[in-house]
Amino acid sequence: MLGKKLAGDAPVAEPHPADGLSAYQSATDNAHHNDPEHNGSSSDEDHLHDPESGVKRGLKNRHLSMMALAGIIGPGLLVGAGGALSNGGPASLIIGFGVIGIIAFFIMQSLGEITTIFPGGGSFVSLAERMVDKSFSVAVGWNYFIIWATVLANEYNVICSILTYWVPEVPIWGWFMILWSLFMGFQLLGIAAFGEAEFWLALMKLVGLTAFFIFSIIYAAGGLIGQSEPLGFRYWNDPGAFNGNGFRGMATVFVFCSTFYAGVESIAVAATETRNPGAAVPQAIRQVFWRIIFVYMGSALFFGITCPANADELVSADAKALQSPMTVALQNAGWQGGVHLINAFILLTCLSAINSSIYIGSRTILYMAQSGKAPSILGWVNKRGVPVWAILLTNAVGSISMMNVSTGAAKAYGYIVNLSGISTFLVWGSISFIHIRFRRGWVAQGRSASDLPFKSMLWPFNAYFGVFANIFLALISGWTNLSPFDASNFVVAYILFPVFGLIYVVCKLLWRGQDKVKRSHEMDLDSGRRTDLDKSGLVPGDAEEIVPVKKPFWKKAFAWL
């Protein structure tokens, strides 16, 4: 199973979660027994590999929890918020973060319900085929890959700009080649290295944001050394809460905010490589609420208080480097050298965001390849559970960021944001639609909602609201380019609508007669369900014995926090 392409393997029956750990071990042993590359031995390491995809289940609960709290937070929030603030003003920033936050919360509720019961490879991409049809799954999968291709390019764009600011002797393309090689090598180390890196980087991001929030409170209250008067909400009056742009500016902010929120759904993709999805996924879903309140709403509030929306430094089409509202705030407070501190913090978030983008993008393309939705070579996994070719392709797409060399960082960022923002709306709306289809099939097959391991809040309102809200935001996101008409930005804003439909239609024609929309009573609602490896604090010892694990006090305390 491991170290080779999976498309030709014989299907392995997946045990029902109620069968317990022994049934899971038996199914895994059978999978290895049928594998000609497996020597027939059974070890604890074998049980850590997913029998269907070949990836290693190396993410712990704390890894997934920290990904939910602060994972994927990168330059989109810290730098891109400057563009959103400049376009819409501080009030638009809060409204945009709040509206998209509500939608993201409902999307995560839908995703938590279906991912907890089906944590298999591909998450909502594979579930799109199970609940709708294969063509819809291909369209969703490639749009999701587009999100992470564009986000990755943006992150390379920002980190190269920062390093060029510090060391101008090295050209942007030189920094890109150095970083590209380093990230490629790190991703090949495996899922355990990724999980640990994300855990500590996410923790440092939370500490950094907390420090800025404290600074903002002191600054607004007039408590800084040498400060003559409190800042208060001065910038809400001048240049104004909406910066003079009204709803037009707010519509632009929605696209920015959707890019900032992109990634909250990534914990579903990571579920396959999680040891205990039954416990870790619901816990991570609940923590997304605190991420929305603290990280996003906190940033929107304090960016708007400490940085004027009309600051020239926020967005400059000719600039080769981007500045954050945090940088402007420190400089206005009298600390000119603060630009280096903020750039260092942004650099830290870039490391985490690039690492996560490569991971999510590669896993998306991996699971698509293994199910016949992408070239089969991309579905190859080595013996350590690393999808080498999928990682190589995803990282290679990051070279889009080199448009920075000719267009400048600010303009390059604008193009990338528009593409990833619309893709996010399309994918989120698809997740809600998949959830609706799943519930219809669940009821049609005589099952009860009480049997679900995780039940979404406010069903069915949350799912229907998710569908219509995302369609609405996707439609209005580019209307500002109509008057005056801006052809290039209009195409960038709406190009993914016909692309999504074109992919679906082409796949329908390609698999004509073989890809029918699933009817409710035809949906497969049993295969792919999995039991946790660590059952109530236990891990597998050998094939017959379960060995209890005693956790040290500090681990218990951290889990409680």
Residue pointed to by tokens 């099952």: 447
**% pLDDT > 70, the chain:** 76
| DSSP state string for 71-91 | TT-SHHHHTHHHHHHHHHHHH
Give the H or E element holding residue 282: helix 277-290
The verdict on residue 34 lying in a domain is no
* pLDDT band of 213, cuts 50, 70, 90: very high
Q: Give the residue-averaged pLDDT of 490-503.
A: 82
Q: What pLDDT, on the 0 to 100 scale, is given for residue 137?
A: 92
Is residue 179 in some structural domain?
yes
On whether residue 473 sits in a domain, the answer given is yes
- The whole-number pLDDT of residue 217 equals 92
Q: Does the residue 1 lie in any domain?
A: no
- Residue 46 inside a domain? The answer is no
Residue 230 has pLDDT above 90, yes or no: no
Q: Is 139 in a helix, a strand, or coil?
A: helix
Report, as an integer, the average pLDDT of 529-548.
Answer: 47
- Distance CA(191)–CA(362), nearest Å, equals 12
Q: What is the pLDDT of residue 182?
A: 92
More confident residue, 44 or 92: 92
Give the N- to C-terminal CA distance of the chain in Å, as an integer.
39
Radius of gyration of the CA atoms of the chain, in A = 24
User: In this predicted structure, what is the pLDDT of residue 550?
Assistant: 55
In a domain, 12, yes or no: no
Assign 532 a pLDDT band (cuts: 50, 70, 90): low
* CATH number of the domain encompassing residue 144: 1.20.1740.10
pLDDT score recorded for residue 539: 43
pTM of the model as a whole: 0.79
User: Does 290 or 278 have the greater pLDDT score?
Assistant: 290
- More reliable by pLDDT, 2 or 544: 2
**Coil vs helix vs strand at 555:** helix
Q: What is the number of domains present in the chain?
A: 1
Query: Rounded to whole angstroms, what are the CA distances from 129 to 135, 392, 456, 543?
Result: 7, 26, 21, 34
Task: Summarize the confidence of residues 156-175 as an average pLDDT.
Answer: 83
**Domain for residue 171, yes or no?**
yes
Average pLDDT over all residues of the chain:
77
Q: Is pLDDT above 60 for 174?
A: yes
Angular region, 204: left φ>0, alpha ψ -120 to 50, beta rest: alpha
- Which range of 29-33, 219-223, 429-433 scores highest in mean pLDDT? It is 429-433
More confident residue, 269 or 245: 269
Q: Give the structural domain span for 198.
A: 17-28+51-560
Q: Mind listing the pLDDT tens digit for each residue in 434-462? A: 999 999 999 998 888 888 888 888 888 99
Name the burial class of residue 280, with classes exposed (0-12), middle (13-18) and buried (19+) by CB atoms within 10 angstroms of its CB.
Answer: buried
Q: Which residues contact 372 (CB under 8 A, 6 or more apart)?
A: 7, 134
Average pLDDT over residues 531-552: 47
Query: Is 198 among the domain residues?
Result: yes
Q: What is the pLDDT of residues 328-379, one digit of tens each?
A: 888 888 887 777 788 888 888 888 888 888 988 898 899 888 888 888 898 8
**Per residue in 13-26, pLDDT tens?**
444 433 333 333 33
**Segment of 120-129, 149-158, 210-219 carrying the highest mean pLDDT:** 210-219
